[in-house]
């Protein structure tokens, strides 16, 4: 095609995009369905990728992800709205239960009771009631901060506005799902791709009278902040929700045993098509609130709940190309570029092929007709190849042995399984591999790390291409004069970005460590390191140390993590950029969970089996009370707690060093 023709086609699409965008966001009256709109966006972006000269200020590639309507005030949730980890099969459920048994130190045959609740595929909302009155309703947002959509929520009939029941707490956040029933959706399915989008779209209308015309429903299932509420279990709480006037799910059930969970899952999966709203799995919650409390949380999800997903939606499509993507830790992931298809209301044009072994095992080739699956919020993947449709001249896909940056790749040898990894990696040369560097920068500015507002992946890529950034410190030295003159930028957007970046120069130590993207150091491990090291200087000083002996003391940090940290500090480029960041940032000392607990400034270690309690639980009790766990007997240890069958060597060493040796009972006494 001639350049002028390509440009013409592109501009036509851009104009259409602008028009539809206006109808959708400004007039709240979409002229095409969401999927058609998505497809148009994809086509524009594909054209830009193919023909680098195509550019437009109003291209969808300049809008950073999905930004919620700016019309709503942002409000912090008093208690965070968490997400759930997923299970897909019996094995996942068994592992989930095993972890719980271990944590609570329960016997292998102890029965665990669950509240099994269908997972409605809608939009979650948190409703605050004060003295029986509905006073504020928030969307989930990022879990920490939601949008104030009170007026829109007030239009939903299922949401009680006043509650006069005696045992209704004087202040409580009731949480549940806003959704649209399938029969109601049919009446408006020309405007939205699926019921979930319809519910979300309706809730975000600027004008609540528009929301009121769409028959949204609400089902309640949990609570956030609650003043003086004393129920024993989730099922009792659910019964009270009903008493208070909320709708609950009629398929909620109390269930014991994995086998029965599976039976219920099979039953509801079959029943799904007859239920008048979309469910995408079943949520299992440990029923007993006391056990929930003991189990607590990991970073974003409770330990006491899991979502058991239903099997995925699938469609058939064709592989147009196989691209190799390099992640921030150097993993080479093959991604199939497929002919866009609609899978359960979402347009899919990329599907992961996981790794090299998977391609070899399934003999996946460019040009193949394949079945692609998508389960809820999980990345779509290629399930199988239709060999009958394969052309005679099709060629095996040769997996590159070099990273696109030019470095030779390697496969790690796993000492435990005695096998080579399925994943091929660019050896972790950090910022020396250009492709990894871009991914590392994206990670650096991401929500869980520096959380720089408006600095999305597309901007990182764009600034990288324009040579505005190469290392993390460059983010803090941007040339805004240059930026404001870039296509798609202006005075206001450049100064907004500057403000967003400046405001993040002050960062907590754990977030800083996490932001560096060191392999095997995720959010949890970064927190462990920060709590142990306390100050940024202690962290930087790790680079000077020949041995990282001290890190061995951190309970939860093992050889793999230590090796990775050492490797990180050995790299000259890493040392340089750390040195630069040190000059720019103000890194806040780690905040200890509770600095005034009963075990303040005391260190503990366990040996032997504890009674009715796992090591993990004992550890979290110590940390909740401001104490610290270390994993070696040395001079820094204050107390060695002995359980059943302790290690004599540890006791002897403790005696030698004059360390106090106490029993589990004596330790519990210290906690009153
Ligand atoms: S409990 C910490 N219960 O699933 C507990 N969530 O991935 C988290 N959901 O954002 C919520 N039905 O939108 C819970 N019966 C149910 C649910 C449910 C649907 C959704 C909710 C949440 C997401 C978690």
Cα–Cα separations (whole angstroms), residue 130 to 174, 218, 227:
11, 19, 10
**427 within 8 A of 466, measured Cβ to Cβ:** no
What per-residue confidence (pLDDT) applies to 64? 29
What per-residue confidence (pLDDT) applies to 67? 33
Please give the Cα distance from 176 to 81 (Å, whole number).
Answer: 11
Closest approach atom of ligand 1 to CA 222: 1
Neighbours of 246 (CB within 10 A): 20
Residue 245 lies in a domain: yes
Residue that the structure tokens 């023909």 belong to: 51
**274 within 8 A of 267, measured Cβ to Cβ:** no
Q: How many angstroms separate the alpha carbon of residue 84 from the centre of ligand 1?
A: 7
Residue 43 lies in a domain: yes
Cα–Cα separations (whole angstroms), residue 338 to 49, 349, 371, 374, 614:
15, 5, 10, 14, 48
Residue that the structure tokens 């966001």 belong to: 25
Please give the Cα distance from 422 to 355 (Å, whole number).
Answer: 6
Q: How many angstroms separate the alpha carbon of residue 195 from the centre of ligand 1?
A: 17
Low-confidence stretches of the chain (pLDDT < 70) are: 1, 21-31, 34-35, 57-58, 60-70, 189-191, 193, 345, 376-377, 428, 546-547, 592-594
For residues 385 and 440, membership in a common domain is answered with no
Closest approach atom of ligand 1 to CA 124: 13
For residues 290 and 438, membership in a common domain is answered with no
Neighbours of 244 (CB within 10 A): 19
Structural domains counted in the chain: 6
For residue 237, which of 257, 262, 254 has the smallest C-alpha distance? 254
For residues 249 and 121, membership in a common domain is answered with yes
Residue 71 lies in a domain: no
Nearest C-alpha to atom 21 of ligand 1 is from which residue? Answer: 124
Q: How many angstroms separate the alpha carbon of residue 348 from the centre of ligand 1?
A: 25
Report the CATH number that the domain containing residue 396 is assigned in CATH: 2.40.50.140
Helix or strand or coil: residue 209? helix
Residue that the structure tokens 């001639």 belong to: 2
For residues 246 and 163, membership in a common domain is answered with yes
Report the CATH number that the domain containing residue 618 is assigned in CATH: 3.40.50.10190
Q: Tell me: the pLDDT tens digits for 456-476? A: 999 999 999 999 999 999 999
Nearest C-alpha to atom 2 of ligand 1 is from which residue? Answer: 82
566 pocket-lining for ligand 1 (C-beta < 6 Å): no
What is the pTM (predicted TM-score) of this model? 0.66
Q: Tell me: the pLDDT tens digits for 376-429? A: 667 899 999 999 999 999 999 999 999 988 889 999 888 778 888 888 999 867
Please give the Cα distance from 530 to 509 (Å, whole number).
Answer: 6
Where a domain ends, among 504, 533, 554? 504
121 pocket-lining for ligand 1 (C-beta < 6 Å): no
Which secondary structure element, helix H or strand E, spans residue 583, and what is its range? helix 572-584
Set 13, 119, 191, 527: catalytic member:
119
**What is the DSSP track for 39-64?**
HHHHHHHHHHHH-TT---TT-GGGS-
Catalytic site includes residue 76: no
What per-residue confidence (pLDDT) applies to 68? 36
Residue 452 lies in a domain: yes
For residues 531 and 443, membership in a common domain is answered with no
For residues 49 and 117, membership in a common domain is answered with no
302 pocket-lining for ligand 1 (C-beta < 6 Å): yes
For residues 35 and 122, membership in a common domain is answered with no
Please give the Cα distance from 469 to 402 (Å, whole number).
Answer: 25
Beta bridge partners of 305: 285
Sign of the C-alpha dihedral computed for residues 485, 487, 488 and 494 taken in this order: negative
Where a domain ends, among 309, 341, 371? 309
For residues 183 and 280, membership in a common domain is answered with yes
Cα–Cα separations (whole angstroms), residue 657 to 75, 473, 636, 639, 660:
53, 45, 10, 11, 9
For residues 399 and 489, membership in a common domain is answered with no
Report the CATH number that the domain containing residue 495 is assigned in CATH: 1.10.150.20
Closest approach atom of ligand 1 to CA 82: 2
For residue 214, which of 153, 275, 261 has the smallest C-alpha distance? 153
Neighbours of 559 (CB within 10 A): 10
Please give the Cα distance from 410 to 401 (Å, whole number).
Answer: 8
For residues 442 and 476, membership in a common domain is answered with yes
Burial (CB < 10 A; 0-12, 13-18, 19+), residue 2, is: exposed
Residue 100 lies in a domain: yes
309 pocket-lining for ligand 1 (C-beta < 6 Å): no
83 pocket-lining for ligand 1 (C-beta < 6 Å): yes
Chain centroid, CA 457 distance in Å: 16
Where a domain ends, among 63, 93, 112? 63
Q: How many angstroms separate the alpha carbon of residue 124 from the centre of ligand 1?
A: 7
Q: How many angstroms separate the alpha carbon of residue 88 from the centre of ligand 1?
A: 16
Which residue blocks in 470-522 are alpha helix, DSSP H? 480-484, 491-502, 509-515
Reading the block at residue 97, the tokens are 């239960």
Please give the Cα distance from 370 to 363 (Å, whole number).
Answer: 11
Q: How many angstroms separate the alpha carbon of residue 557 from the centre of ligand 1?
A: 31
Pocket test for ligand 1, best of 117, 124, 226, 250 (most atoms within 8 A of CB): 124
Reading the block at residue 340, the tokens are 């866009």
Report the CATH number that the domain containing residue 186 is assigned in CATH: 3.30.470.30
Please give the Cα distance from 381 to 375 (Å, whole number).
Answer: 9
Pocket test for ligand 1, best of 225, 253, 283 (most atoms within 8 A of CB): 283
221 pocket-lining for ligand 1 (C-beta < 6 Å): yes
177 pocket-lining for ligand 1 (C-beta < 6 Å): yes
Q: How many angstroms separate the alpha carbon of residue 449 from the centre of ligand 1?
A: 25
DSSP one-letter code for 25: I
Report the CATH number that the domain containing residue 12 is assigned in CATH: 1.10.287.610
What per-residue confidence (pLDDT) applies to 63? 43
Please give the Cα distance from 136 to 273 (Å, whole number).
Answer: 34
Q: How many angstroms separate the alpha carbon of residue 168 from the centre of ligand 1?
A: 22
Residue 595 lies in a domain: no
Sign of the C-alpha dihedral computed for residues 38, 39, 43 and 49 taken in this order: positive
For residues 278 and 183, membership in a common domain is answered with yes
Neighbours of 190 (CB within 10 A): 9
Task: Give the domain range for residue 450.
Answer: 430-504
Pocket test for ligand 1, best of 222, 241, 282, 309 (most atoms within 8 A of CB): 222
220 pocket-lining for ligand 1 (C-beta < 6 Å): no
For residues 423 and 440, membership in a common domain is answered with no
120 pocket-lining for ligand 1 (C-beta < 6 Å): yes
Residue 417 lies in a domain: yes
Please give the Cα distance from 656 to 126 (Å, whole number).
Answer: 56
Residue 528 lies in a domain: yes
Q: How many angstroms separate the alpha carbon of residue 83 from the centre of ligand 1?
A: 7
Reading the block at residue 17, the tokens are 């995009």
119 pocket-lining for ligand 1 (C-beta < 6 Å): yes
**Helices 90-104 and 258-271: crossing angle, nearest 10°?**
140
What per-residue confidence (pLDDT) applies to 608? 93
82 pocket-lining for ligand 1 (C-beta < 6 Å): yes
């Amino acid at each position: 095609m001639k350049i002028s023709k390509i440009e013409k086609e592109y501009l036509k699409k851009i104009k259409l995009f602008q028009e539809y965008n206006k109808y959708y966001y400004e007039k709240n009256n979409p002229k095409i369905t969401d999927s058609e709109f998505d497809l148009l966006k994809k086509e524009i972006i594909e054209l830009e990728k193919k023909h680098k000269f195509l550019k437009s200020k109003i291209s969808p590639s300049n809008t950073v992800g999905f930004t919620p309507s700016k019309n709503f005030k942002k409000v912090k949730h008093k208690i965070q709205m968490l997400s759930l980890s997923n299970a897909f099969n019996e094995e996942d459920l068994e592992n989930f239960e095993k972890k719980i048994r271990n944590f609570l130190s329960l016997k292998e045959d102890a029965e665990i009771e669950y509240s099994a609740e269908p997972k409605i595929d809608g939009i979650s909302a948190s409703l605050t009631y004060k003295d029986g009155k509905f006073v504020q309703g928030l969307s989930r947002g990022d879990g920490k901060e939601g949008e104030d959509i009170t007026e829109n929520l007030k239009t939903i009939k299922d949401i009680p506005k006043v509650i006069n029941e005696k045992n209704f707490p004087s202040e409580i956040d009731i949480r549940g799902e806003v959704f649209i029933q399938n029969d109601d959706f049919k009446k408006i399915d020309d405007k939205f791709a699926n019921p979930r989008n319809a519910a979300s779209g309706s809730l975000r209308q600027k004008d609540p009278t528009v929301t009121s015309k769409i028959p949204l429903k609400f089902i309640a299932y949990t609570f956030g902040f609650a003043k003086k509420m004393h129920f024993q279990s989730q099922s009792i709480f659910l019964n009270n929700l009903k008493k208070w006037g909320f709708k609950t799910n009629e398929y909620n059930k109390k269930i014991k045993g994995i086998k029965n969970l599976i039976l219920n899952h099979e039953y509801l999966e079959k029943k799904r098509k007859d239920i008048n709203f979309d469910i995408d799995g079943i949520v299992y919650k440990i029923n007993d609130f006391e056990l929930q409390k003991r189990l607590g949380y990991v970073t974003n999800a409770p330990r006491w709940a899991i979502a058991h997903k239903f099997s995925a939606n699938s469609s058939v499509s064709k592989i147009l190309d196989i691209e190799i993507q390099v992640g921030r830790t150097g993993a080479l992931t093959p991604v199939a570029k497929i002919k866009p298809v609609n899978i359960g209301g979402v347009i899919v044009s990329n599907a992961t092929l996981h790794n090299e072994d998977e391609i070899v095992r399934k003999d996946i080739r460019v040009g193949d007709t394949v079945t692609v699956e998508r389960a809820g919020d999980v990345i779509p993947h290629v399930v199988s190849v239709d060999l009958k449709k394969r052309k005679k001249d099709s060629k095996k896909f040769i997996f590159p042995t070099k990273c696109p940056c030019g470095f030779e790749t390697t496969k790690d040898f796993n000492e435990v399984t005695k096998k080579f990894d399925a994943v091929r990696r660019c050896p972790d040369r950090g910022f020396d591999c250009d492709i990894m560097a871009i991914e590392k920068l994206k990670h650096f500015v991401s929500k869980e790390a520096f959380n720089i507002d408006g600095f999305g992946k597309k901007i990182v890529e764009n600034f990288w291409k324009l040579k505005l950034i190469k290392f993390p410190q460059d983010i803090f030295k941007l040339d805004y004069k240059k930026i404001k003159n870039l296509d798609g930028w202006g005075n206001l957007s450049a100064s907004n970005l500057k403000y967003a970046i400046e405001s993040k120069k002050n960062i907590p130590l754990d977030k800083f460590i996490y932001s560096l993207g060191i392999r095997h150091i995720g959010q949890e491990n970064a927190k462990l390191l920060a709590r142990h090291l306390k100050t940024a200087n202690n962290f930087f000083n790790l680079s000077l140390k020949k041995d990282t002996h001290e890190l061995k003391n951190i309970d939860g940090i093992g050889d793999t993590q230590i090796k990775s940290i050492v490797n990180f500090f050995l790299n000259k480029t890493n040392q340089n950029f750390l040195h630069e960041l040190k000059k720019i940032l103000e890194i806040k000392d780690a905040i200890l969970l509770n600095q005034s607990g009963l075990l303040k400034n005391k260190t503990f270690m366990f040996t032997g089996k504890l009674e009715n309690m796992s090591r993990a639980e004992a550890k979290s009790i110590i940390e909740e009370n401001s104490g610290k766990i270390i994993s070696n007997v040395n001079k820094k240890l204050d107390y060695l707690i002995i359980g059943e069958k302790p290690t004599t060597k540890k006791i002897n060493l403790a005696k030698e060093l004059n360390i106090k040796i106490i029993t589990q009972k004596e330790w519990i006494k210290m906690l009153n």
